[in-house]
Amino acid sequence: MSRSPTDITELYAPQFEQFGLELRSKGPTFTGEVANDRANGRAWIMPISPTCLVMEHFITPTHDMHLTEYTPEPYACVSEISGSTLACMPDAGITPANLKPLRGPWPNSAMCSFIQDNCGEEQSPLFAGQLYHSRSVLFLPGFFNELESRYPTEFARLFEAFAEPWHEEAASAICRTLRRLSEERARAVGGQVYMQGIVETMVAELACSHAACEQARQAAGTRASTDIAKEVAATVERALDAGKRMGVDELADRLYTSRSKLCAAFKAETGESIGAYVRRRRTERACDLLAGSSLPVGQIAERLGYPQQAAFAQAFKQEMGLSPTAWRAAKP
């Protein structure tokens, strides 16, 4: 006997009920608030289709507790989450992929993707006073099955890709999408169409990136792929020589290829994203100049194409753990 399709509300309603949070319809969105002896917070949900929804919650437990989560069938998810939410994922049987720290209003915010395929019941410990925030897009497998039936081969294996590494192109697309999801916009005029549009755009970007990565993997080691990676590296080095920063879009234009194919080919050949390569080479050049010259830090920043000394100092510290001045002083 075939299993009846999952009601997508099963992915969130039982958890919210444990806090005493009841969602009520406000047009196409469902919202709710809670302030009791269990938790304080609020949540909003917008179903995009029977197999996809957008959800955001802010929950602060008033005492330590265990949250019981039940997963009726596997689902894929992309999320912007607080540090507390990230910390409880392993207990819920979730292994986040594509973990990317973010600057945001929530403590230790990060972006990640994952597939929750531990069907059944899991318990996660939650701690009093900590903010459990998540802004997420959830997909049941049927979402991608429908796309694949409408557009054969274009969305093959995309569900599985949520548990696999993406290159920076895809991760950036996800970050941009998540930051555009808000309760205010969902409830405004045209909110349903708007939310559906940006979710579908995100999925299309992921499909394009996934296909480019697969093509690059198959082409890795060929002369054309190797030549692309060499030309990217050479162009970046020439830009650094001239005190300029070469962006991915400009690189793609110069090499007469698409951004996604360029990023995928470089990563397949070198194991490093273009963005990471540029950051590493700028940092290495900065170290050479700091250690081997008496140039002021401001002049080094200018020589490496940074618009301001403060921007250089921040980027250098993020890579090396010390400010340029402190790093120079610590060198023997």
Domain ranges of the chain: 8-213, 219-272, 276-330
For 270, residues 6+ apart whose C-beta sits below 8 A from its C-beta are 229, 233, 277
Cβ contact 98:113 at 8 Å: yes
- Beta strands in 50-116, from DSSP E residues, in sequence order: 52-61, 65-71, 75-81, 97-101, 110-116
pLDDT in tens, the chain (332 residues): 344 456 778 788 888 889 999 888 888 899 999 999 999 999 999 999 999 999 999 999 999 998 888 788 889 999 999 989 988 888 888 888 888 877 666 557 888 899 988 777 788 889 999 999 999 999 999 999 999 899 888 888 889 888 887 766 677 778 888 888 988 988 899 999 999 998 998 898 888 877 777 777 776 777 777 888 888 899 888 888 888 877 888 888 888 887 777 887 888 888 888 888 888 888 999 999 998 888 899 999 888 888 888 888 888 888 888 899 999 988 76
Which residue from 66, 70, 59, 79 is spatially nearest to 7, judged by alpha carbons?
A: 70
pLDDT at 194: 93
What's phi and psi for 153, nearest 5 deg?
A: 75, -20
223: buried, middle or exposed (CB in 10 Å: 19+, 13-18, 0-12)? exposed
Which helix (DSSP H) or strand (DSSP E) does residue 266 occupy?
A: helix 259-270
Could you tell me the CA-to-CA distances from 132 to 85, 143, 191 in Å, in that order? 5, 27, 25
CATH architecture label of 276-330? Orthogonal Bundle (1.10)
Could you tell me the CA-to-CA distances from 275 to 109, 238, 271 in Å, in that order? 21, 16, 12
State how far the Cα of 256 lies from the Cα of 51, in Å rounded to an integer.
38
Region at 152 (left for phi over 0; alpha for psi -120 to 50; beta for the rest): beta
